[in-house]
Every structure is written in C-alpha cells, then in structure tokens.
Structure 1
Amino acid sequence: MTRRRRRSAAGGAVLTVVTAWGVLAGAAPAEAAPADAATAGRRIAPGVGYRQFDIDAAAGTAHAHLLTVDLGDSHVRVDLLHPGAVAARATVSRLADSAGATAGVNGDFFNITETQHPGVEATGAPVGPAVAAGQVLKAAVPEGQRFGPSLPPGTNTRDVFGVGTDGRARLDRLALVGSVGTPQGKLTLKGLNQYALPQNSVGAFTAKWGGASRERAVCGTDTQRSAPCSTDTYEVKVSGGQVVSASGDPGSGPIPADTTVLVGREEGARQLRALSVGDPVTVTHTLVAATSGVPYAFAIGGFPVLRDGRPLSGLDDATSAVRTVVGFTAGGRQLLILALDGAAAYRTGMTVAEEADTMRMLGASDAFNLDGGGSTELVTRGADATAVTVRNHPSGGAERPVPNGIGVFSAG
C-alpha cells in the first residue's frame, strides 16, 4: 500500500485514505478515496453500506470500518441499543443480536470503575442523556463526574447525537426539566437515572435504572469525580402518588414500574427529610432540547468534534487512541458511522483532531465522538445471517460490555 501525508494551508494534518486489500480476515476490500467513501463499499441491507480502509495518521496507520446509513430510505431507522436497564452492560454483538439490528456500534462513555470509592460498585451507567424509541431513559451527570477524555471547550455532558421523529440526524443538547411536588412546596429535580447527582440536589430513579445500587449517585462532587461520598443523604420511595418508605442511605434492587425513588444529598437530603410516609408527592421529568423543536426518537451522549463542516476549536491533537465516531451529511439524511480497528498493527489509532478531519474528508458536515479504546466495536449482519459479525478487532482482545450503542435497522 502507499502512504502519504500532506499539510493543509492552515498547518493542520490532512489525513489521506489509502487502499488496503484483505487486511482483516473476512473483510471486504477497501476502495476509493475519501471523497467517495460515503458512497462506496458493499451494500449489506437496503440503505446500509459497509466498507473499510486505511488512514495515514500521525502515530501510524489506522484502519477504519465505516457504515453508511441512508435515513431517507423508508426501510431504515436507527435507535439506541441498550440492555434493558440504564445501569447494565452487554457487548455490542449481544445488544445488536437481541434487538435484531442490521449493524451496530458502541456508544457513550460510562461509569466503568470506582477504585477511588472503596466499597462502592461501578454502575456501568452512561455519562450523557439517553433516549430510546422516543422514551427518555436518563439525563446527564455533572461535568466533573464524567468518564472519558477532556471535553472540547464549549461542550458539556448534555451534548447528544440524535435522530428526530422527522428522520433527520442532529447534534443538540438535552437538559433535564423536572420537579417534585410536595406538601411543603415544589422541589426542582436535578437528576434522572444518573450514576452521579449534583451536590445539594434531589434526583429520581425509575424502573428504567435497573437493580444496581444507588449509592454511587451521592459520591464525588460537581467538579471532582474522586471526591468522597456524601454522608448527608436521604432516600424516599414514592408509589401511587404518595411516600411509602424512607431511608437515610441510598438503596439498591429493582424498582417497580409504579414506583419512583427520590435520592437527596446535602440540601436535597434536608428537603426530603421534611416528607413523611403517606404524604402526597408528584414527580415530573422530561428532557428539553436546546436547538431542535422536533422530538427525539433516539439520542446518545458523547461530545461533538465537527459542526457545520468545521472542527471544533481546542480538539486534542496529541493523544492517539482507537476511536468511534458518528457523523452526518445531506442535512442529516445520511449517517457515517466509523470505528477504528484495535488490532496490534493499528492500535495507535488517531487523535480527536484527526478524527474530526477524517469525518470532514468523508463528507460529514457534523460529527460526534463516542467512547473508544477497548469499547470501540462495530458489528454487521448479512442478509441470511442469524447472528452479527464483529468487524473490527477490539483493542482489549475481547468484546467489552458497554451500556449502550447505536443500532442500525433495515427492514429490507
């Protein structure tokens, strides 16, 4: 193969896609140049294409797996892949198989470890907002509580990539708006099915959270994930519109469909202590979009790297890693879903800045970074296949269980 690198007039690295034939066992041959990558490749289902190619990145050759998804095709839709609970994990192949997806890729960063809080279990819950099949699953944790690389300037944990009920992809922000009505007055709800609540707040946990402990929700601060867990906490269970129990510590276990668990820390705990068993309580919550007036059928957290054809300022141009990124073009009607290979020959990956440049060269107007490293995984299903095939080599040597992902569905 031929590798080459040139510099742009602005001095930034320009990545050149080059051909690579038979790089991976069972892989389709790479084709064409960057300008054609969004349309070239092998059709795996109506409206869905797949191809792979090499990228000459600063740290060495990276190998990319690319899905192209035509949202204008009536056969095609995308949705959130998830294991049925916010605080749960499964491999991308298992998530895609169980959902019947044509293809899939890993999603948001997540609460992967709790080494700094002895005795507290990691929940596996994702960082950002999540919407599946038009239903809100969760809201975003505070910026200081997130896992993953540093956010680009001007972005935050509420940033999402999503597809509206109009079938168009967008970058947006989803903020929690909610309240708790009590005999003493209305409280502002600051969390929904989150592994970390803001300081001095009240958060709600529903059946969608799952059975994981809610103890992690009161650990850390808004600016420091590793800060100690709060010792000033309170939990109230609401069922049938009234308080049915209370406890000084966050609990665990499945939450019934007709029950909401309210967890408070610091000032939020003090507010919940004013409630008594039998008190009437109403809880409301929704996610409100910052820019789109169209409801979201699907949304997932991460952070933007490309907007309106321009990379965001301040993107990391020094740290190379295996990465996953999703972008769109044609006014949000065509998706480009790219996952790098984690095989030893390609494990150096690329920087976030190179990722943005690559998506722009592939034709994307906007792009959004998802979890990477050992989480990066892309799967596809052939027309007659009973199970999906993992197309890239996970960098950890095996599939990593993740909390969510993007599923591509084709009814053809």
Structure 2
Amino acid sequence: MVANRSVRLRALGVVCGLAVLVSPVPSATAQDGDIAVAPGVSYRPLALSTSHGPVVGHLVTVDLTDPRADLGLLQPGSVAAKDEIADQANGAGAVAGINGDFFNISEEHPGVVPTSASVGPEIGGGEALKGAVPHGQRFGPALPEGASHEDVFALGFDRRARISRLAVAGAVLGPTGVVDVAGLNQYALPVGGVGAYTGDWGEVSRARAVCGTDENRSAPCSTATEEIVITDGVVRSEADVPGTGPIPPRTVVLVGREDGAAQLEALDPGDPVVVRTTLLPADGVPLTFAVGAMPIMREGVPLPGLDTAELAPRTAAGISPDGRRVHLLVADGRSPVSTGLNLQETADLMASLGAADAVNLDGGGSTTMAVRTPDTPHATVRNAPSDGEQRQVPNGIGVFTR
C-alpha cells in the first residue's frame, strides 16, 4: 500500500491526544473519537500534519454491510440547478453529505449563461439523469492516465460501492429512420451529435449544448442547429435554435448540431417518434446512484501522474476492497490553519484509511461536508469552505439511514 510518510493524522474526537501515522493504517474500523451518526455511519474530524503545514479534514465512514446504511444522489431538483450541500442533504433527509462533481461554473461564450449542470454522468434512484460532456468540454483537473470523462463514483444494486463508467446509449425512431442519441441532459453535446433533454434538465436554456467542440470548450457556438419538441410520442414543434424554459411531463426535446441537426430537420410536426435513452455501465452492474468523479487510485495504487504541486481544498471518496465500506473525505485549504492537499496526498490518505479505490471530486470553494449528529436536528456544515460560505453546487453524495 502506498502512503505519504510526510503526512500525519490526528483524531479530534473524544481522545484528542491520539496520534496515528497516516502510513499505513490497514483497518478502517471505528476508533476512539468517532461520533456515531446513524447505524453504520460514523463521523470524525481530522488534523493532518504535513511538510507544507497543517491541514484540517473531516471524515464520514459508511458501513454498507449494515442494511440500514445507504448512499444516494444529492440534487437540488433538476440537473441544471444548484444549491448548498447542507440544504440538499436536509431536503433529502440525509444524515450526511459531501459535494460531488465538477460543473459548468463559468462561460466563455458571450450571451450564453452557465448552466450549473455537472460534467459527468448522473444516476439517482436507479434512473439515468444525465450523461458526460465530451472530454474537451470538462471543468476540473486534467485526468490521470487510465481515467475517463465518463467515470463515476457509484453504488450498485448489489450494495457495493465502485468506480464505474457510464456511456449514453439511445435512439430516435421516426418515419425517416433511426437517429442515434449521443447526449442526455448535458450542457455540451458532441460535435455532429443529437442530445435528448427531459424534465430532469430543468428550466435553464439549452443554448450552451451547441457551444465549443469535443476538444475545445471555448470554441464558438455552432450555427448549424435544430431543436425538436416531442410530446406523447408526436413531434409538436421545431426550431432552428435551442430553446429555454421547463420541459413538460411526457415531453422530450431533441437538440442537434451539424450532422445531428441535419438528421432532425427531416422530422416534421405530426410525425410519430419514439425516443429511448439510457446509461450503460461498462462493468454491466446496474447502479442505484452515480455521480461523475475523477479516479485517483485503483486496487490500492495511486494512478500515475497525479499532481503533487497544487495545494487546494479537496473532496474525495474511497472504497474498501470489497466495496462494502466507503470513506467520504473533505480537507480544507487556502488558509493559515489548513493549507490543503495535492492530489497525490489525497490518494495516499485514502490508501492509509484502507481504501483500494478512490476518486477526487470537485474541490476548491465547492468543498463542503454537512453532517447531522445525535445532538443536532439537521445536517450542518462541518468544514470551513474556502469562499467563506457554502458554494451552491449541482449535486453531491448523500448518506442515508433506514
């Protein structure tokens, strides 16, 4: 097991003097200082001593062998929406939560408003909600070797956490033939592709979907576009540019660019159309929930090429070898009392906790953990967000108890 011997871990719980070298801690079982949050769920503040200064962290551990403990998606109600993690956790009835995927936080295209939609795939309650944007349209650090823009932190119906990979699969069946669907509720579509948008998308304009290219997020928006509105299996309207506003029940909006737009232009109002979309897991295991994530460790070994320079607030999730124990971690940064971690240190810390696989989630000002303990009626923020307050984010990982 790989570990960074310049990092030390101290529990700030009942036994404040407990000192444990982060290298190596083979067991992630409960220790003195853990706070019991719910059956199978514990919380622990951490203090890290590093070669670059102190780091304050917070850890929630979930034991999925306890049938009362569960993981699920936190979301503000639609894909293209955002809210604070504490509000998302309390609204969903979660006992704990951390922020999730990177998202469309800024925009390079004049007149186009950021959607706030996340970068990667998303599954909630077993339902496919969105696919991954093209690799060049991502926000977040460069992916390490072996990682993909379609990677997710997920929970299978087998109640085992895992790093999986989700690809959009879909088709439009109409009188003119079959049109492939390459996107689902995404803020960016592949060049030449067609995307499907449902009520899960929300009210935000779909104009961003045709901007940039598969390699360049800042490339100009396409002018060869088409939008088709389908309700109850019938084409109701068409337009030359993507629209805005809520998508009604039993309605699917198709947006195409370049070749995809040309294919959609063959459809006319009144045409009968069937639209099918799903997210296919690479390992074939059906998932109850998934959130886009960047792998940083597999089988106990950090992925090659992880950054060792940039110190920042970090949010991460680690998985035990059998997938039955999950560690949710936040580390504060950008302050005198907490310098932050680099990606290599984040992976090493997860390895020291007994994780075999780990992912990096959105960090910086997004890093947030909210926890409800026996002495608090609601989940409250436990870390110190670097913006001075919670940042509104599009999704997160929620911890639930039955």
Q: TM-score range by the shorter chain?
A: over 0.9
1:164 pairs with 2:195 = no
> Cα distance, 1:31 vs. partner?
4.1
> Cα distance, 1:156 vs. partner?
1.6
Counterpart residue type for residue 247 of structure 2: I
1:82 pairs with 2:101 = no
Residue 110 of structure 2 is matched in structure 1 by 118
Secondary structure of the residue aligned to 2:36 is strand
Quick one: structure 1 residues 13 and 69, their matched pair in 2 at CA, closer, same or farther if it must change by over 3 Å? closer
Residue 220 of structure 1 is matched in structure 2 by 212
TM-score (norm 2): 0.95
Quick one: structure 1 residues 377 and 31, their matched pair in 2 at CA, closer, same or farther if it must change by over 3 Å? farther
Quick one: structure 1 residues 355 and 123, their matched pair in 2 at CA, closer, same or farther if it must change by over 3 Å? same
Counterpart residue type for residue 181 of structure 2: L
> Cα distance, 1:357 vs. partner?
0.8
Whether the 8 Å contact between 1:106 and 1:370 is mirrored in structure 2 is yes
* Counterpart-to-counterpart distance in 2, 1:369 and 1:31: 27
Residue 43 of structure 1 is matched in structure 2 by 36
Structure 1: gaps spanning 5 or more residues: 1-7
> Cα distance, 1:62 vs. partner?
1.4
Residue 302 of structure 2 is matched in structure 1 by 311
Whether the 8 Å contact between 2:12 and 2:44 is mirrored in structure 1 is no
1:348 pairs with 2:308 = no
Residue 120 of structure 2 is matched in structure 1 by 128
Residue 200 of structure 1 is matched in structure 2 by 192
Whether the 8 Å contact between 2:4 and 2:349 is mirrored in structure 1 is no
> Cα distance, 1:30 vs. partner?
7.4
* Counterpart-to-counterpart distance in 1, 2:210 and 2:15: 48
> Cα distance, 1:32 vs. partner?
4.7
> Cα distance, 1:341 vs. partner?
2.0
> Cα distance, 1:19 vs. partner?
2.6
Residue from 393, 398, 401 that aligns with 1:407: 398
Q: Percent identity?
A: 51
Whether the 8 Å contact between 1:110 and 1:126 is mirrored in structure 2 is yes
1:65 pairs with 2:58 = yes
> Cα distance, 1:58 vs. partner?
4.3
> Cα distance, 1:383 vs. partner?
2.7
Whether the 8 Å contact between 2:8 and 2:50 is mirrored in structure 1 is no
> Cα distance, 1:78 vs. partner?
0.6
Whether the 8 Å contact between 1:127 and 1:146 is mirrored in structure 2 is yes
* Counterpart-to-counterpart distance in 2, 1:15 and 1:241: 61
Residue 142 of structure 1 is matched in structure 2 by 134
Counterpart residue type for residue 365 of structure 2: G
Quick one: structure 1 residues 303 and 149, their matched pair in 2 at CA, closer, same or farther if it must change by over 3 Å? same
Whether the 8 Å contact between 2:204 and 2:244 is mirrored in structure 1 is yes
Residue 286 of structure 1 is matched in structure 2 by 278
Counterpart residue type for residue 87 of structure 2: R
Give 1:320-335 correspondences, 5 Å limit: 320-335=311-326
> Cα distance, 1:320 vs. partner?
1.4
Structure 2: gaps spanning 5 or more residues: none
Counterpart residue type for residue 232 of structure 2: G
Quick one: structure 1 residues 28 and 174, their matched pair in 2 at CA, closer, same or farther if it must change by over 3 Å? farther
1:173 pairs with 2:153 = no
Secondary structure of the residue aligned to 2:117 is coil
> Cα distance, 1:317 vs. partner?
1.4
Whether the 8 Å contact between 2:133 and 2:189 is mirrored in structure 1 is yes
1:372 pairs with 2:363 = yes
Secondary structure of the residue aligned to 2:355 is coil
Whether the 8 Å contact between 2:311 and 2:333 is mirrored in structure 1 is no
Whether the 8 Å contact between 2:308 and 2:342 is mirrored in structure 1 is yes
TM-score (norm 1): 0.92
* Counterpart-to-counterpart distance in 2, 1:29 and 1:269: 62
Residue 203 of structure 2 is matched in structure 1 by 211
